[in-house]
Chain A
Amino acid sequence: MAIIKDMIPAFDLFQPTTVDDALALLDEHRGEAWVLAGGLDSYDWFKDRIKRPKVVVDIGGIEELRGISDAEGGLEIGSMTTLTEIVNHQRIRSEYSLLATAAEHVATPQIRNQGTLGGNISQDTRCWYYRSGWPCYRAGGNICYASTPKAMNREHAIMGTSRCVAVNPSDTAHALIALDAKMIVRNGGSPRVHDAEDFFIGPSIDITRMTVVKPDDLLTAIHVPAVWANAHFYYEKVRDRGSWDFQLVSVAAAFQVSGGTISDVRIAVGGVAPYPVRLVAVERLVAGTSGGESVANEAGELSVQGARALRHNDYKIPMMRNLVSRAVRSVT
C-alpha cells in the first residue's frame, strides 16, 4: 500500500448535543470511534492518514461542556472552553492568572480561538518520529526511533522515560498541576475525578497514551480549586520562535507568600518528560523559606538531579535548571 499524506480520509461524523449521547456513541462504536474537540491535534493525524477512525464524534455542539462557572469558591471549566475564552476570562485573569498566561502561550490566536482547554491537556505528543506514523512503541510497535544513537532528539525527554522518550507538549498541563486542578472524566458510570498530576501517565504505565483518558472516555470538566487563587505565579515558556511553536522547556509555578515567607508552593515543568513533571522535592526545599538567590539556585540544581540527556537535548538540563531557579527567584 503506497503512502500519501495531506488528504483527510472519509469518516462517519456524529455530532451529539449531550454528554450522555456522546458517551453512548463512544460505547456503541467502541474500538473505532474518535473524540473530536477543537481538531488541532486530530486533523494533523487525519491529514496524514495515520489515524483513520471510522467514526468521529464531534463534541463541539455539546453546550454542557462549555463555560466557566463558580464552583465551591473555585472554578469549574468545561472541557470544551476555548483557550481564547480562558485567556480573556475576567476571574481567571485576576485570580488564576497562571492559567490565563499559560493558555496565552499556546500556538497562535487562531488556534486558541478553536483549541480547547480539554483538548490542550489531552493532546498527543509531537515526537516527529511518532507523528510521521512510524511504528514505534507508542504506535504499538517494538522500537523507539528517537532514542537511537544518531536520532534527531533535541525536543525529547530528559527524565521519566521508559522506552519512549517523547515529551508531553501541553502548555497548560503543568499550570493546572500547579493550581492543584482536578480533571473530571466520564464513561457511562459516575464521573471519575483525577488529580491533575495523576491525569498524565508515563510510558512505563501505558506507552500508547499520554493521559488516563481512554478512547471511550470523555473529559468533561477541569476543576480549579480556590486554594491557589491570587497566589504569586510564574510562567515561562522557551521556544524556538515567538509564536506558533511548541515548547522546548517551560515552567509553571504558584507560591503562597505571607509575611515574606513562602508558605506553600507548587512547581511543575513541561517539555522534559513524557508527562508534565511536578517537582515535589523542590517544593519541599522551597516551602518555608523566603526564597532568594541561593534557595533559587539550589532549587534549580535539585530539579535536574537524575536527568539524563539524549544525544541532542543536553541543553534541556541547564534550561530546566534555570527556569526553575527563575520561578523561585521571582518571589522576591
Chain B
Amino acid sequence: MALWRTAANPWGQDVLIGVSWDLMYAAIIVAVVYLIGHAVWIKTRPADEHMDTGAPPPGLPERIQRHSLAARVFHWTMSASMLVLLATAFVPVIGLQFPWVTIHWIAGVVLTATIVYHVIHSIVWQDFWAMFLIGFGEGVAHLKHILSAKAPAPPKAGKYPFDHRMFHHVIVVVGLGVIATGLLMIVRIDTPLWTPNPYLLADSTWGVVYVVHGMCGVSLIFFTAAHIYFALRPEKWWITWSMIRGWVDREHYLAHHDPAKWAVTGGTPPAATADASVSEPRDA
C-alpha cells in the first residue's frame, strides 16, 4: 500500500504530488472495522459508570446548558461543511464523477470561517482550558478501565470528558492541517477574486502541502465516521441531543460529571419553579 504518489517534475526531479488513494480505502476500512469492532466489544461491557462524588450541589435546574446557540450553530455549520468537503473530495475518487472543485473550495472557505470564529469564541468567551486540560491521571484511569472492566471506573469528568478532549485535540491537529494546506491550495484556484499563481512555492513544497492535505483529509474520513458513530450510540444520545437542544438533563449531568469540575450556577431549585428553566453554567 502506497502512502503517497510521486512524479517527475519538469526538470526530471522526483517530487511528491499527493497522497495515495490507497490511504482513502484504508481509512474507510479502518473506520468500518473500528465501528463494528467497537459495537461488538461494547456489548461485552457493563454500562458506563463513574465514581460517586457525593451529594449534589443544591439548586441544580432540570436542564443544564451544555452548548449555547452560537456554539451549536458553529458545530452544525462546521460539520455540514466538513461532510461536503469529504464527499466532494472522495466520492469522485471512488467513481461517481461530478463537478466537485468549486463546491469543495467554497465549503473549505466556510469551514475555515467557522473555525476562525470558533477559535476566537472559545478563547474569549468559552472556558478554553476546559477543553485543553490534559488530565493525564484521568487518561490513565480511562485506559485501565477500557482494558479491564474490573479496573476502577474513571473519575467523573468536567464539562468535556477525557475521550472528548482527546478527539478534539486530534481534530485540532488534522483540522488545522487540512485548513492551512487548503488555504495555500486556494491560491491555485481561478476565481473572480484573484489570479492563480501556482509558482508561489516550489513544486517539492507543494507536494508536501498536498500530501499533508491528503493525509489529514483521509484521516478525517475515519474521525468523522467515528464521531458520527459515537454520536448515534444509544448511551451517548443524551450528549448528542445537547448539541441540538443545547442542554443535558440533571440526571445525566450528575451521573457523568463532577460538579466541582463543571459548576453550574443560578436558578432556583426545580421544585420552586413552574417551568424547568435552563440555567446558565459559568461557561455559557
Contact = CB atoms under 8 A, between A and B. Distances in A.
B190 A161 contact: yes
A205 B190 contact: no
Given A161-B190, A162-B101, A205-B99, A140 B196 contact: no
B7 A2 contact: no
Interface in B249-272: none
A237 B73 CA distance: 56
B108 interface: no
Interface of A: 1-3, 132-135, 139-145, 147-149, 161-163, 201, 204-206
B17 interface: yes
Given A134-B10, A135-B7, A148-B198, A143 B206 contact: yes
Given A148-B196, A149-B197, A204 B17 contact: no
Nearest to A50: B8
Contacts of A140: 5, 7, 17
Contacts of A133: 8
Interface of B: 5, 7-10, 12, 15, 17-18, 92, 97-102, 188-190, 195-199, 203, 206-207, 210
A148 B199 contact: yes
A139 B207 CA distance: 15
A159 to B, nearest CB: 12
Contact of A147 (B92, B101, B102, B190): B190
A33 B104 CA distance: 33
A145 B11 CA distance: 13
Contacts of A1: 8
B8 A3 contact: yes
Nearest to B189: A163
B196 A204 contact: no
Given A142-B18, A144-B198, A163-B190, 11 more contacts: A132-B10, A134-B10, A135-B15, A139-B7, A143-B203, A162-B99, A163-B101, A204-B99, A205-B98, A205-B99, A206-B92
Nearest to A3: B12
Contacts of A206: 92, 97
A140 B18 CA distance: 9
Q: Which 5 pairs of residues, A with B, have the shortest CB-CB distance?
A: A204-B99, A135-B7, A141-B17, A142-B210, A143-B198
A3 B11 CA distance: 10
